[in-house]
Each structure stands twice: as C-alpha cells, then as structure tokens.
Structure 1
Amino acid sequence: MKFTFTLFMLSCSFAFPFCKKTESKNTLGKFPLCEPSAAVSITCPDDHSKACILVGDNEIKNKLFYFPIKSEKLETKKQMVLPLDGFEIQDIESITQSDKNNFLIFGSHSRNKKCKIKKSRLRFAYVRISENGLKLNKFVQTKSIKSINLFDSIQDSNNPFLEKVKTVIDNSEIAANKSEGNEEECKKVNSFNIEGSIYIQDNYWIGLRSPLVEWKGKKYAILLKLRNLDKLNFDATILLDLEGRGIRELSTNGVFMYGIAGGPEDGKNNFVLWKLPLSSLKKNAILKPTILKNLPKSSEGLAFHNSTIFILIDGDKGKNRCKKPGKFISIHN
C-alpha cells in the first residue's frame, strides 16, 4: 500500500514511511475557526446526498463546523456552522460517530497553561445531529480526575500494568496541583489529557495525550475503554508503544485504527501517522502500532472519506482574526 500527497503528486512507499520533502498545506476555513483539533467524516446535515467533514476547534466551546467534500477534496470556502444546542464544552479534542446521527464530543479534561482546573473542559456529551445544530442526548460533567473514580469498575487481577496507570494519573494530578499558577512548572507536568476517541464494536475507546506510563523501561501511551456514557469511568486498558509520543487523534477505516501521535509536550515536532489492526484491540494488550509517516507539527485532526485521509493542523486564534490559520493536508490511501 502507498500514500500519495495529492498536492505535490509525490509518493512515499511504506518501506520508506518518512518523506523528507516539505508538504504543502491548504488553509482550512476562516475566523473564528483557527485551531482545528478534532474531525470526523459525516453525512452533510443540510444535504444527505453529500459527505462532509465535521470539525471541532479547541478555542470554541459552543459550536462545531463542517465542510463539504467534492471529488475527494474539501470545499474549504463553504464553512458551515452547527451550534451546540444548550450546552458548552471547552477545549474540544475529539469527536466520535457511533451511528449515522449520533456523536460523542469530548473536552480534553486537561488543565490550562497554568495548571488551573477548568470545569468547562471536564465534560463530554452524547449528541444527535440535525440541520439546525447538535441536540443533547446526554451530558456528563466530570468532578475530578482521580483513579479511584476513573477505574472503580475494574476488578482485574490479570492486568499487570493497571496499578502503574492509576499511579501515573494520580501522580500527574498531584504535580499539577503543586504547579498551579506557575506556567513554567506546569509545562513539565503532562497531566491527564484526552485527545482521541473512537467507536468500535459497540465500545468507545479513549486515547490519552498524557500522561504516559512507564512499563519495563519503556514509555507507553494509554488507551482506555469507556464503561458507559454515565460518567468518565473505564473498564479496560491497553498500552501503545508510540516511541514516547502521546495520542493526538483516533479514527478508523473499519479494518484498522488510525491515529496521530505527538508530544506529549507542547512544541515538539515529532508528529506521526500510525495504524493498528482493530482485531488486536484486546483487554490488557501491549501493542506496537505501525508508524506510517511523519506529519506536520501540530497535526490534531484525522478523518476518512473513501480512500482519502484528511489531516487537520492546529493554528493560532487572535482576538479578531487567525494569527495563524488552521491548515490541512490530504493523503490518498
């Protein structure tokens, strides 16, 4: 199999997954959409005969955006809005489709730059899509990030690394509490941060950007299975060897789980695209995904449409304009 960047018509064999050439990027939409951070392919709400990409922005808490797809290309000038009807979620970092009309939207559950807890980030919502907006099916407000609450449903003596996962989450929250108000110290913490979710075989899997867990001398990213939609609570864990990176986005083509990995620290230029067979997602597994290729720095959204993968790249929002607009690249599968 081979990926081809349509913008340059260059190809990268999987035998040589890291292209050295600079990739051209297209601008995604316009202000206020500047920091695209989550994406999923959908049927267009206003025209069910067409496909669209639904996009979340981590600086916008009351609406999502969507763009039509035509001939495997995003029509980026047709930026449409879907308001969140009667609820808000700050720092939206993942959107997952469970069926044609229903989606799960996750706030990152992370701290701000000074390690302060933000209630509006500690949320997720199960919604149904309509032409007029996203209607609420269920809304969950998480009170705090503590392993005793996150894993109270797991009674599994066969999981060799569960206690390590619980400890690293609790320790990172303790460190974040100690660093509250100090931006420089907060940068070192890498506390709890959700940046990917996926729906597979009636289960939601949640990917963490941070913390990473150390197991037998290596650092692993953490994949967690959501128990149900009642609260932030997990009943299975998987470790992913992403070579010291965290999970930044998850998606699927029905056969493989695809993901973006990077960081976990801000500012790192180590982003990659990876894949994993869905059949390998078994409770307590320690898995080594196949890393396919390098991605641009700050790649944060991933969506499939037919044979095309759209990768969305974070920008920088100003007061009245995008200081740095969001971008995207297209990859043919």
Structure 2
Amino acid sequence: MTLPAPLTGVVPPVCTPLTPEGEVDVPSLLRLVDHLVGAGVHGLFVLGTTSEAAYLTDRQRTLVVESVVGHVGGQLPVLAGAIDMTTPRVREHVGAVTRAGAQAVVVTAPFYTRTHPEEIARHYRLVAAASPVPVLAYDLPSGVHTRLPAEVVLELAAQGVLAGLKDSSGDLAGFRRVVAGAREQCGSTGFSVLTGSELLVDAALALGADGAVPGLANVDPHGYVRLDGLCRAGDLERARAEQERLCALYRMVDAGDPARMGASSSALGAFKAALHLRGVIDCPLTAEPQIPLTQEEVRRVGKFLAAAGLL
C-alpha cells in the first residue's frame, strides 16, 4: 500500500504493550491494532512518543513494525518513527523500518547537539534522499528541544522533500501558519498537516488540518473517528461536544503523582492502564525507567473511563 496524498483522518500513535519482563507483547499489540482498525481509524503510527520508541531496542522497534504491518495486511497505511539523535542513525532506522514494511517514516529534528535551521533542513534532505518512502517531519520541541521553523517546513514541503508534518508543538498559531502556507505553496502536491494534540482536534480541522495523531485515540478510537467525521460534516455543535468529552477523558494523564514520577510516566501509564482496564492489553507496564502507577492511581484512571462511558 502507498501513502495517500494527502494522508487524512485519525492516525493513532500506537502504544507498545510490554510483558512483565519488558519485551514487546505481540498478542496484545495485535489486539490493540484490531481495536483501532475496528473503530475505523485511517492509519497507524508506530514508534512515536506514545509508542515509547525512545525506550525500545532496535530489535524491538523492528519487531513492532513487522508485527503491525503483517497483521494489517495493507488495510490501511502504517507510518513508523525513525527517531534518533543524528542523520546517520536516522538513516539506519529508515532502512530498518522500511524493510519491515512501513509505508512512510516520521522524523524529528536532530537532537542532543545544538542545531541551526540550515542543519535541520540538511538533515531532512539527507534522510529523504536515502528513504524509499515518504518522509514526514515531527515537530516535538518537548522531546528534541528544538522547534521546526515554519519556513523550513514549508520550503522542504514545496521542494517535495517532506510529505507532511506531525505537529506536537502545542503552538496553534504556528500550526495555522504551516496549514495556510502548505495550502498556498504546495497546492495539490498532497502535503499532509496533522495535529498531535488530543485537545484541539476540532480547532485544527477547522483551520484546515488534514488529520490528527492523538495518543488518547488508543483508549477511545471511536471517539476520535466520530469527532473527525462530525468536523468534516460541518456539525460543529456535536463536534464541540465530542471534543469536550475527549478533553475530560484526557485528564487521566494526570492520574500519577507528580511528586514521584514524571509527566511521561503518568500519561503513558494512564493510557496503558486504560487499555488494560478495557481488556485490550494484558499488562499496563511502561518501559524502564518510567515509574508505574499505583493501584489507587489506576482506580483514578478507571473513574475517567467510566465517566466517558468506556467501562
């Protein structure tokens, strides 16, 4: 299967279920994929932030892509993160995930060392030149400590270097600039602008975004597919109500005590606890060294699920 141009709709960043020993739990992963596909999502993004890609070994990353691509069997596109510190390492990941069957790769700016916008642009050109599949940029300043300048993204889009952007910057004004610029500069080339926000999907689609990559869609894929459909149908009142229901459900990410764990442990732990409570995955474990939720914190997650009608 080739990547649609543009890619539209709901593309969940798929959680990576783990066994108690910390290995990829492939049966649970495939049940999660069935849970998402059955809800009508429009694509799958593996090896992103919500997938805990940063914690997985290269062997585990390859296993995830091979398992998901083999299970989906061309029903919908599978995008894979090729995320690492430097261009040579990213190019190696691109080779591994495309050999495993990914139809597109999602790439952040380089990180660890400080970079200049010219170096970021060079990074994407070198990665795209080596990639047999489309490359989407991933704006993740919370993880790589660099913003992707809108002018760089738009220049690379117009040149055909980038096929899209997953924006997890939290900057709605900057996102709007990319959406408008892509419409102006790229015309019908099929550049996809996707929001990574769980909370602003209705606003992003109203601005002209092509779709969303919300981590919470692991837990409630039907809700996000419903929201996407309502927005596209112009049913703004019902879309707002659905977005507000999802915003209330998203509050589960704060279930963990900030005095004993980081925000990532709390959020990813909550998503996995919710999937476990819903019977989708066998074990809610997050990768080391993240701190697991306590039983009381898991009960808190369950209350959010019940309030959203998911238990």
Q: Looking at secondary structure, tell me which structure has more helix per residue.
A: 2
> Does TM-score exceed 0.5, indicating one fold?
no
Normalising by structure 2, report the TM-score.
0.35
Q: Looking at secondary structure, tell me which structure has more strand per residue.
A: 1
Normalising by structure 1, report the TM-score.
0.34
